A and B are shown apart, each in its own frame.
Chain A
Amino acid sequence: MSLTLAEKILAKKTGRKVEPGEFLLLEVDVALGNDITAPLAIKEFYQAGGDKIYDPEKIVLVSDHFTPNKDIKSAEQAKQMREFAKTQKIKKYFEIGRGGIEHVLLPEEGIVKPGHLVVGADSHTCTYGALGSLAIGVGSTDLAGVFLAGKVWLKVPPTIKIELIGKPKKYVSGKDIILKIISLLGTEGANYKVLEFSGEGVKNLSMASRFTMANMAIEAGAKTGIFPVDEKVIDYAQERGYKAEPLLPDNSAKYEKIYKFHLNEINLQVARPCLPSNSKDIQEIEKEKIKIDQVVIGSCTNGRLEDLRIAASIMKKSKVHENVRCIVIPGSQKVYYAALQEGLIETFIQSNCVVSPPTCGPCLGGHMGVLAKGERAVATTNRNFRGRMGHPESEIYLASPAVASASALKGFICSPESL
């Protein structure tokens, strides 16, 4: 056999070898929707004559985008999803106060497991690739199709191998590594393809870093990002009460392209507006002393406990600059509670940050931190598109929690090393 990780998962699903370019009709293990995408899927499901959903066990619905509801319309959308979950007996429905941001939540709850085929009506579904699952962002009609028949159509994707070598430098995390990779590949460099992260350097990356990297595979256009199931993943599974088996690509697997990255050569990165591929080394950006109005630390990209620990360790040194508003968003109720118990929340409050409940809110310019005309933010989120976080003439710089925290204290974009 000579299969990539994605091909292995698809071959197991179909019971035969699969080739890139083939179209498959597959049963999924998990399908996800949220308060923006699920209402549309629900509407389409009923319009198509749906009555009872195919398998409620496979469906996960999370209220996280416009929640806690920002206005009447968003409340109506959330209500629609809540009532659908009740009618259809969907047990994995996550209400606010019991859940969090979908892509932080599902791995944490042990819902997505290594080897799973997952589709989600959210583009950052690819996050779960950190667990060695094949997790693909789709649309609402695809989710409606899973409601109706449990199935999805997929084209077997070719794979690009990202070989990681060595250890990252101090403060350098998954965010910097993936921004560097995207700057090299471009925003459609991996369109329709899988980014397979492998090589001996993988063992030096924490699970949080892996989630961040898989999360942003979509920003290079990729169908998904995927990591092997190694000891770290097996331990992660064990901590969540289930057993995982190792899953590695074959040595002779065929890749469309192979890129090598020496992790110790990657510096802290900052992506300028308006593309995630616009990243530069912090040394270069810091020289410009780019003043900022807002910092957002959180999101499905960087809202995990490890991210908050790094942020707090830097915030401890001083207080948020007088011209800056700093919003910290724990990614889930569990992350929030752990951060509280560890004293991280206290640090944030003492540094004059505002701590928000888990929500996607500001990342997509929804609520809880929307930018005015001409304002500039550093965010640990995933997209710096024009108008993404508010006014079309506001600006977003993407960075890691370490850089975002240091910048919050100084008032301009800088490295934690400069504090």
Chain B
Amino acid sequence: MQIKGKVFIFGDNINTDLIIPARYLLTSDPQELAKYCFEDIRPGFGQRNDVQGSIVIAGENFGSGSSREHAPLAIKGAGIKCVLAKSFSRIFLRNAINIGLPIGELSLINEFKEGDEIEINFSSGKIVNRRTQKTFEIKPYPPFLQEIIISGGWLNYLKTLGTKEER
């Protein structure tokens, strides 16, 4: 899988209240949630025209706090193709994998600036920053999680598992 896009930069501890404040959790429609994505840290972000097709790069502990799956859904709904962060909070990581939002751990986030065009190759784990032409690596997922991602999410994986067991 290959992804290209423009980068938006966020800091450390971007918790789920900042990704999608609880006052907007009155729906589970990704398009509706997308309008308020990152609302309390970057007002109006979800309504920008250039968010569609972009890539978010953040610092440590991305997605901490609540278990709300509305957080990765809002990001996905906004058309953000991938989130790269120094580290992810546990429940956010599982939610992203379960719903098929591509994420990756990247340590050298300071090598990226807002607006950089980057390319991510998930099969090789390589990232290229077009501005600097430098190459970086993301940590590959363990095989079990890769299987879930390839299946198209956890529920699809469970269904194929069911048919395997029946055979």
B interface vs A, CB < 8 Å? 13, 15, 17-18, 21-23, 25-28, 40-41, 60-61, 64-70, 73, 87, 89-91, 94-95, 98-99, 142, 144-145, 148, 153-156, 158-159, 161-162
Contacts and interface: CB of A to CB of B under 8 A. Distances in A.
A223 B91 CA distance: 8
Contacts of B66: 122-123, 364
Closest 3 CB pairs of A and B: A73-B26, A139-B95, A141-B98
Contacts of B162: 149
B25 A36 contact: yes
16 contacts: A66-B25, A138-B91, A141-B98, A145-B98, A145-B155, A148-B158, A149-B158, A149-B161, A153-B154, A188-B60, A191-B61, A191-B89, A221-B61, A386-B17, A387-B21, A388-B22
A392 interface: yes
A331 interface: no
Contacts of A365: 17, 21-23
Given A49-B159, A145-B98, A149-B158, 15 more contacts: A36-B22, A36-B68, A45-B155, A48-B155, A66-B25, A77-B26, A121-B69, A142-B98, A142-B154, A153-B154, A221-B89, A221-B90, A383-B17, A385-B15, A387-B18
B90 A141 contact: no
Interface string A175-213: 000000000000110011000000000000000000000
Interface string A56-77: 0000000000100001011001
A191 B87 contact: yes
A77 B24 CA distance: 13
A28 to B, nearest CB: 13
B94 A40 contact: no
Nearest to B92: A139
A7 interface: no
Nearest to B71: A139
Contacts of A191: 61, 87, 89-90
Interface of A: 23, 25, 36-37, 39-40, 43-45, 48-49, 66, 71, 73-74, 77, 120-123, 125, 137-142, 144-145, 148-149, 151, 153, 187-188, 191-192, 221, 223, 275, 364-366, 383, 385-388, 392
Contacts of A142: 94, 98, 154
Nearest to B72: A139
Contacts of B87: 188, 191
A182 to B, nearest CB: 12
A364 B89 CA distance: 19
A226 B61 CA distance: 22
A391 to B, nearest CB: 9
Contact of A122 (B67, B70, B156): B67
A110 B163 CA distance: 36
Contact of A388 (B17, B41, B95): B17
A38 B27 CA distance: 11
B44 to A, nearest CB: 13
Name the residue among A37, A74, A151, A385 with the largest chain B CB count within 10 angstroms: A385
A73 B27 contact: yes
B27 to A, nearest CB: 7
A166 B55 CA distance: 50
Contacts of B91: 123, 137-139
B163 to A, nearest CB: 12
A71 B90 CA distance: 32
Contacts of A364: 17, 22, 66
Contact of A366 (B23, B90, B158): B23
A337 B148 CA distance: 47
B160 to A, nearest CB: 11
